[in-house]
Amino acid sequence: MLPGAAASARQLPGKGGSSAVSWLAVQTRSGRESYARSNAERDGHETYLPLCRDPESRRIEPLFPRYFFVRRCERWWSLRSTVGVQGVVRRGAEPDEMRDQIVDELRSREDELGLVRLDAEEFLVGCRVRAVGGAMIGKIGTYCGAPRHRRCDVMFELLGASRLVSVPREYLRAA
- 67: in domain: yes
Residue 7: per-residue pLDDT: 37
Residue 175: per-residue pLDDT: 79
Residue 164: per-residue pLDDT: 93
CATH number, domain of 59, equals: 3.30.70.940
**Residue 55: pLDDT over 60:** yes
What are the C-alpha distances in Å from 169 to residues 26, 72, 75, 121, 139? 27, 32, 39, 9, 15
**Residue 90: pLDDT over 50:** yes
**Residue 15: pLDDT over 50:** no
Q: Are residues 60 and 102 in the same domain?
A: yes
The closest alpha carbon to 14, from 26, 25, 22, belongs to: 22
**Residue 14: pLDDT over 70:** no
**Residue 25: pLDDT over 90:** yes
Q: Are residues 144 and 101 in the same domain?
A: no
Express each pLDDT in 156-172 by its tens digit: 999 889 999 999 888 88
- 122: in domain: no
Residue 5 confidence class, pLDDT cut points 50, 70, 90: very low
Q: What is the pTM of this model?
A: 0.61
**Residue 129: pLDDT over 80:** yes
Q: What is the largest CA-CA distance in the chain?
A: 60
3-state secondary structure of 141: strand
**Residue 150: pLDDT over 60:** yes
- 10: in domain: no
Distance, C-alpha 31 to centroid of its chain: 16
- 93: in domain: yes
Q: What mean pLDDT is reported for the chain?
A: 84
Q: Which of 10-14, 59-63, 75-79, 81-85 has the lowest mean pLDDT?
A: 10-14
Looking at residues 79-92, what average pLDDT do you find? 94
CATH number, domain of 146, equals: 2.30.30.30
- 56: in domain: yes
Distance, C-alpha 40 to centroid of its chain: 20
